[in-house]
Amino acid sequence: MPSLKQIHSFLTIADLGGFTQAAAVLFVAQPALSRQIALLEEELGFILFERQARGVSLTPAGTLFRDRVLGIEKTLSAATEEGRQIARG
């Protein structure tokens, strides 16, 4: 099962359209990010991105995966914020 870090990295790449831009935003080296996504694709059993000379685009399977996991990240953010509010009283 993908980790939250992998999901976050995947969504960042998908949103920014490239590994270089995403690596800068995520404060990681681009080769390390590429390897992380390659491992994710291997784990999932399908390719998420079509690599092009200038960036990437989602494959049909990558688009479906993005649509599904986007909700996970939003749910986690909402749960975190609600927990903080409750903790404050």
Dist. CA 24–CA 4, nearest whole Å: 19
Which class for 30: exposed (0-12), middle (13-18), buried (19 or more C-beta within 10 A)? middle
Considering all CA atoms of the chain, what is the largest pairwise distance in Å, rounded to the nearest integer? 52
Dist. CA 6–CA 40, nearest whole Å: 7
Domains of the chain: 4-88 (1.10.10.10)
How many Cβ atoms sit within 10 Å of the Cβ of residue 43?
12
Q: What is the pTM of this model?
A: 0.87
Q: What is the amino acid identity at position 8?
A: H
Task: Please write the tens of the pLDDT for every residue from 30-84.
Answer: 999 999 999 999 999 999 999 988 889 999 999 999 999 998 888 988 999 999 9
